Amino acid sequence: MDVAKALTIAGSDSGGGAGIQADLKTFQELDVFGTSALTAVTAQNTLGVQGVYPLSVDAVKEQIQSVGTDIAPGALKTGMLFSSEIIRTVSDMIQEFQWEKLVVDPVMIAKGGSALLQKEAIKCLKKNLIPLAYCITPNLPEAEEIVGFSITNREQQELAAQSIYKMGAKHVVIKGGHGDGEQATDLLYDGEDFHFFTASRIQTKHTHGTGCTYSAAITAELAKGRPIYDAVSTAKSFIQDAIENQLGIGAGHGPTNHWAYQKRKANQQISF
Ligand SMILES: Nc1ncnc2c1ncn2[C@@H]1O[C@H](COP(=O)(O)OP(=O)(O)O)[C@@H](O)[C@H]1O
Ligand SMILES: Cc1ncc(COP(=O)(O)O)c(N)n1
């Protein structure tokens, strides 16, 4: 059986809604075999981040080496990378294995406000990792941080995408989750055209891990050989179903429902 394989290089969320846990659940739901390299352990729940424990550069490197030398992923993603030294190590390893289908989720700050990337590491992210990205998926505050200007309208969102494209990312997806308005609209720029992916904004506080889940879904689809436009389109449906059917877990900002997309599809098949 020829199964698609993907790798996530990210932090652990003990609460299970974001990070490595969200990525592996998403890979599984999209029929992709998931592998992982941990960059940091966080003590975290729906109320916030209680502790951050980065792993050593050697530990990160060895995990990627172990996966890369044996289980070649069709696509990979990065999430929480925490420091410049981890970013440099990860970038070196990606070049060593000549992996092309790289999705960079430039995770900076958890929804509760805790830093998941050291401030001084942003420069390193721009210099070392963005040029390797097949696709990068910043949310609005992350995109503002990368480009250095504020994004308050569609025109600025497009300018930001062009600016990040010029830094070397082959496809730029600027997510609209942090915007306002009736629609949550994500923009995909491929160097020529702007494509918009729109869904109705759901009024909920349960959006913990949405960015991780979304970028993992894009990665899973790329691992199966799907083109980027299809991959983003599937990811958008996946995250919409996951937010709409949140599980009411925890007392704070709860996780989304990684089962929902497959369940809806299965139900649709039955009713046809
Ligand atoms: N309340 C919401 N309703 C519908 N879609 C949302 C909502 N919040 C986020 N999204 C979508 O979830 C995905 C992740 O976006 P976002 O939450 O901005 O990322 P991050 O977790 O990195 O901050 C995007 O497709 C975005 O449009
Ligand atoms: C380990 C880890 N990685 C990433 C996030 C970002 O989560 P979100 O997708 O909600 O921005 C997180 N809270 N924890």
DSSP one-letter string for 50-61: EEEEEPPHHHHH
Q: Is the pLDDT of residue 42 over 50?
A: yes
CATH superfamily of 5-271: Ribokinase (3.40.1190.20)
Strands in 194-200's sheet, in edge-to-edge order, are: 48-54, 33-45, 5-13, 75-78, 102-104, 135-136, 172-174, 183-189, 194-200
Q: What is the pLDDT of residue 113?
A: 85
Q: What is the pLDDT of residue 201?
A: 97
Instruction: Report how far residue 209's alpha carbon sits from residue 37's, in angstroms, rounded to the nearest whole number.
Output: 18
Selecting among 46, 185, 207, 256, the annotated active-site residue is 207
- Once rounded to an integer, what is the mean pLDDT over residues 41-52? 97
- Once rounded to an integer, what is the mean pLDDT over residues 225-240? 98
For 87-145, what is each residue's pLDDT tens digit? 999 999 999 999 999 999 999 998 888 899 998 999 999 999 999 999 999 999 999 99
Q: Is the pLDDT of residue 3 over 70?
A: yes
Q: What is the pLDDT of residue 1?
A: 74
Q: Is the pLDDT of residue 163 over 80?
A: yes
- Once rounded to an integer, what is the mean pLDDT over residues 8-21? 98
Q: Name the pLDDT band for 269 (thresholds 50, 70, 90).
A: low
Q: How far is the CA of 90 from the centre of ligand 2 (A)?
A: 18
Structure tokens at 39: 């960059």
Selecting among 42, 209, 213, 236, the annotated active-site residue is 209
Q: What is the pLDDT of residue 270?
A: 55
- Once rounded to an integer, what is the mean pLDDT over residues 167-187? 95
Q: What is the pLDDT of residue 272?
A: 41
ipTM passes above 0.95: yes
Q: Is 210 tagged catalytic?
A: yes
Q: Name the pLDDT band for 22 (thresholds 50, 70, 90).
A: very high
Selecting among 16, 78, 212, 236, the annotated active-site residue is 212
- Once rounded to an integer, what is the mean pLDDT over residues 33-62? 97
Structure tokens at 264: 């809806």
Q: Which residues line ligand 2 (CB under 6 A)?
A: 10-13, 18-19, 42, 44, 79-80, 107, 110-111, 116, 208-212
Residues 6+ apart with CB under 8 A from 71: 5, 7, 33, 35
Q: What ligand 2 atom has the least distance to the C-alpha of 114?
A: 13
Instruction: Report how far residue 204's alpha carbon sits from residue 230's, in angstroms, rounded to the nearest whole number.
Output: 27
188 alpha carbon, closest ligand: 1
DSSP single-letter state for residue 82 = B
Q: What is the pLDDT of residue 250?
A: 96
- Once rounded to an integer, what is the mean pLDDT over residues 41-68? 97
Q: Which residues line ligand 1 (CB under 6 A)?
A: 139, 175-178, 184, 186, 199, 201-202, 204, 207, 210-211, 214, 236, 239, 243
| Terminal CA-CA length for the chain | 28
